[in-house]
């Protein structure tokens, strides 16, 4: 006998668990994961629609209590069935509810009426029809295209990694690969980190694919997003470009999935389900019989490890497509600047280079990994830090508004004139942000034209694109911003990049700190000298000898990887070991702590070959009045972590953890950020 686990009426949120049904012999050949079926449900056996999530030979409940599937709904949508199967994969792999997984993959059915005033983003009149198909690839680029298309036409389907230095022409390679696949009647998904969705990239794709390409981003209304999904489903478009959510575009026949800047942390969801787009892309490609192409100038340590081990095909692009040289990089030791009496944000070297650049009619980009005007506000008399009353974090000052803001729960309060603790008037903000840098630039160069790009200037629809377009049209001399300015942008007149406080990311307190720092600095440096004039980069740091900074300055990824993988091996971190974080939160601190102790104890009692660290208070011990505890589990295989995740879910569902206590538990496989 065959049995099916069926989720009932997926639009009904109250029913979140699957129910087991007998599959009649005559329906066995028609029932697969994702198949829609009609089933008797409840005491009255009313006929309800359901979807098969999985098939099994061993039901978890007595057979005598089971009912039979009534019929298979033959008018099922194969595309939707695949997405439902993908949702089940995400639920099982990442530990979420099925409803949350289904909400992730199935688009909300909302109507969208296009108004006369509405304008398609990056419409055709904005696209230069001349960077087109007549662009000649260099030898390295052509080799990648030839090797991939040759294997593709021979039926080879696998995952590839393109390791190409900044400016090596990866985008042009992506376009040729997509063109090849689309010409064979299949569709393509092009994933770009939200912060990397650049005006220039979109223009390139519009030149090649015209109205057969659709662009997605987070500013789209739900109705607009659904309209794109319907076009994809009806084969009215061939290519979708967008962030990780573009993975769930209901294409009937995906032939290739490309993931640009694959190292980016934005590909990992930070809300349940905490999936990584790379893993889901590989699963989706397997379901469609498609290939996956990962690309980066600074590949994630995990991906490069898999490529060196032969799990992925590896392509290398080691030269800039235009023949331009990599920029000259100077590392400035801020300790020396301080000893010399320089207490400003700008080293003497960076100040001199900035003046030279603007005087020569060229442009500069200044990068800092900070948001707003200041990191925190405190009293210089007693040392009290202004904190959020609901979260265990400091408040940030937004100077233009004169308010303090919590970036976790959104709490706002006016900046006090006097210290609430000691009454002192010496309330000061600390740590430079983009606004303060902008003020400093204008002191160095009175009358200089500046643009600022950070979380506060890019809240409006298409605001990022407008800023980048203005800078590309030379309406500003200096672009100042956070990491969103250093991702994938190509401005020929930028000859200087300045990195202020390069080592801030080294203090993040997690094992990826060195990798993140190397990535940011390498990507930032890569923005300089992409035109005919050689570029210069100034990296300001208090840790000039740190290996991530040294290797970023020389643009030497392989040297960085060799040191980083040695550290991961010694410490037992991914990709050498698999790791899962388990976060427990509750408004009652004792309840959260007790649940954390019980769950970690349950995992220890299972006797598997794992290492358990904790539990302890999370790095941010309270958010929105919920106390947070965390523990980590390391294992040789991800399967061992999934089994423990299932054990914990079963323990919680059984009520063994005292169902009267509404603790929340979140699982995070391969966490990108510490809790």
Distance CA 675, CA 663 (A): 16
Distance CA 478, CA 469 (A): 13
Residue 631 near residue 671 (C-beta atoms within 8 A):
no
The token pair that represents 223 in the structure block: 């109705």
Structure confidence at residue 401 (pLDDT)? 72
The token pair that represents 399 in the structure block: 């100077």
Torsion 480-486-487-492 (CA) sign = positive
pTM: 0.85
Structure confidence at residue 187 (pLDDT)? 98
Token look-up 């904790």 returns 614
Same fold, 124-317 and 328-372+433-568: yes
> In which residue ranges of the chain is pLDDT below 70?
9-16, 75-77, 108-130, 132-134, 195-200, 218-219, 369-375, 399-400, 430-432, 461, 488, 507-509, 655-661
Structure confidence at residue 483 (pLDDT)? 79
Give me Rg for the CA atoms of the chain: 27
Distance CA 320, CA 377 (A): 44
124-317 placed in CATH 3.30.390.10: no
Q: For 371-386, what is each residue's pLDDT tens digit?
A: 444 567 888 787 788 8
Chain centre to alpha carbon of residue 7: 29
Q: Give strand ranges (E) for 399-547.
A: 403-405, 412-414, 427-432, 450-453, 478-481, 494-499, 536-541
- Phi then psi dihedrals of residue 320, to 5 deg: -70, 140
Distance CA 105, CA 85 (A): 10
Give the β-pairing of 291-296 and 412-414.
unpaired
Q: For 222-232, what is each residue's pLDDT tens digit?
A: 788 888 888 99
Q: For 265-280, what is each residue's pLDDT tens digit?
A: 889 998 889 999 999 9
Distance CA 238, CA 267 (A): 22
Structure confidence at residue 675 (pLDDT)? 79
Helices (H) and strands (E) counted in the chain, each on its own, are 17, 28
Query: For residue 64, what is the DSSP state?
Result: G
Token look-up 């405190």 returns 378
Structure confidence at residue 396 (pLDDT)? 81
CATH value of 328-372+433-568 in 3.40.718.10, 3.40.50.300, 2.60.120.460, 3.40.1440.10: 3.40.50.300
Cis peptide, bond prior to residue 615, ω within 30 of zero: yes
The domains of the chain are located at: 2-105, 124-317, 328-372+433-568, 578-669
Question: In 3D, which of 251, 277, 289 has the Cα closest to residue 83?
Answer: 251
Helix (H, G, I), strand (E, B) or coil at 537: strand
Residue 323 near residue 194 (C-beta atoms within 8 A):
no
Residue 475 near residue 515 (C-beta atoms within 8 A):
no
Which CATH code fits 2-105? 3.40.1440.60
Burial class (CB in 10 A: 0-12, 13-18, 19+), 64: exposed
CATH architecture for segment(s) 578-669: 2-Layer Sandwich (3.30)
Token look-up 């309406």 returns 475
The token pair that represents 12 in the structure block: 């009904």
Distance CA 530, CA 534 (A): 8
Q: For 56-76, what is each residue's pLDDT tens digit?
A: 898 888 899 999 999 998 755
The token pair that represents 413 in the structure block: 């309060």
Cis peptide, bond prior to residue 575, ω within 30 of zero: yes
Question: In 3D, which of 510, 382, 396, 411 has the Cα closest to residue 455?
Answer: 396
Structure confidence at residue 26 (pLDDT)? 94
Distance CA 592, CA 43 (A): 38
For residue 609, list its beta bridge partners: none
Distance CA 357, CA 605 (A): 64
The token pair that represents 4 in the structure block: 């099916």
Number of Cβ within a 10 Å radius of residue 279: 19
Among left, alpha and beta (phi > 0; psi -120 to 50; other), residue 135 is beta
Query: For residue 412, what is the DSSP state?
Result: E
Burial class (CB in 10 A: 0-12, 13-18, 19+), 135: middle
């Amino acid at each position: 006998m065959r049995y099916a686990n069926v989720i009932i009426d997926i639009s009904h949120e109250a029913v979140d668990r699957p129910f087991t049904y007998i599959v009649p012999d005559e329906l066995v050949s028609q029932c697969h994961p994702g198949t829609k079926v009609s089933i008797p449900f409840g005491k009255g056996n009313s006929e309800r629609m359901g979807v098969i999530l999985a098939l099994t030979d061993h039901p978890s409940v007595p057979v005598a209590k089971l009912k039979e599937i009534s019929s298979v709904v033959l008018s099922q949508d194969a595309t939707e069935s695949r997405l439902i199967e993908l949702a089940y994969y995400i639920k099982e792999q990442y530990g979420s509810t099925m409803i949350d997984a289904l909400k992730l993959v199935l688009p909300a059915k909302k109507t969208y009426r296009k108004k006369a005033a509405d304008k398609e983003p990056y419409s055709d009149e904005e696209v230069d029809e001349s960077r087109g198909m007549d662009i000649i690839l260099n030898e390295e680029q052509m080799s990648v295209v030839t090797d991939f298309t040759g294997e593709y036409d021979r039926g080879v389907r696998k995952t590839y990694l393109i390791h190409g230095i900044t400016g090596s022409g990866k985008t042009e390679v992506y376009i040729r690969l997509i063109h090849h696949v689309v010409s064979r009647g299949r569709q393509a998904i092009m994933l770009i980190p939200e912060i990397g969705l650049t005006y220039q990239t979109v223009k390139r794709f519009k030149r090649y694919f015209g109205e057969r390409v659709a662009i997605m981003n987070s500013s789209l209304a739900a109705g607009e997003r659904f309209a794109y999904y319907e076009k994809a489903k009806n084969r009215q478009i061939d290519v979708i470009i967008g962030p990780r959510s573009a993975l769930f575009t209901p294409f009937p026949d995906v032939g290739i999935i490309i993931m640009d800047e694959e190292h980016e942390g934005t590909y990992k969801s930070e809300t349940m389900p905490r999936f990584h787009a790379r893993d889901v892309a590989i699963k989706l490609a397997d379901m469609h019989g498609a290939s996956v192409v990962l690309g980066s100038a600074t590949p994630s340590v995990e991906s490069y490890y898999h490529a060196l081990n032969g799990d992925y095909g590896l392509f290398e692009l080691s030269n800039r497509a235009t023949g331009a040289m990599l920029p000259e990089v100077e590392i400035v030791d801020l300790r020396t600047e301080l000893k010399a009496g320089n207490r400003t944000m700008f080293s003497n070297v960076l100040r001199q280079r900035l003046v030279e650049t603007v005087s020569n009619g060229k442009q500069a980009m200044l990068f800092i990994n900070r948001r707003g005007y200041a990191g925190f506000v405190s009293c210089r008399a007693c040392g009290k830090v202004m904190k959020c009353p609901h979260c265990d974090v400091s408040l940030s000052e937004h100077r233009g508004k004169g308010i303090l803001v919590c970036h976790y729960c959104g709490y706002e309060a006016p900046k006090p004139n006097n210290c609430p603790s000691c009454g002192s008037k010496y309330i000061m903000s600390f740590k430079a942000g983009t606004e303060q840098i902008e003020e400093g630039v204008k002191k160095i160069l009175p009358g200089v034209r500046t643009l600022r790009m950070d979380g506060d200037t890019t809240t409006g629809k298409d605001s990022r694109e407008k800023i980048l377009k203005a800078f590309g049209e030379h309406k500003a001399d200096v672009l100042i911003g956070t990491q969103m300015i250093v991702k994938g942008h190509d401005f020929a007149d930028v000859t200087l990049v300045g990195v202020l406080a390069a080592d801030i990311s080294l203090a993040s307190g997690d094992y990826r700190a060195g990798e993140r720092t190397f990535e940011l600095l390498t990507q930032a440096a890569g923005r300089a000298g992409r035109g005919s004039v050689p570029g210069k980069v100034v990296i300001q740091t208090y840790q000039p000898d740190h290996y991530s900074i040294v290797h970023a300055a020389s643009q030497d990824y392989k040297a960085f990887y060799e040191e980083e993988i040695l550290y991961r091996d010694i410490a037992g971190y991914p990709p050498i070991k698999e790791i899962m974080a388990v976060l427990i939160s509750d408004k009652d601190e004792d309840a959260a702590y007790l649940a954390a102790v019980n769950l970690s104890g349950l995992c220890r009692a299972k006797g598997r070959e794992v290492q358990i660290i904790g539990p302890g208070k999370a790095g941010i011990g309270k958010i929105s009045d919920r106390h947070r505890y965390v523990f980590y589990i390391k294992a040789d295989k991800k399967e061992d972590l999934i089994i423990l995740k299932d054990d914990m879910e079963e323990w919680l569902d059984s009520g063994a953890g005292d169902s009267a206590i509404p603790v929340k538990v979140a699982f995070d496989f391969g966490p990108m950020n510490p809790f």
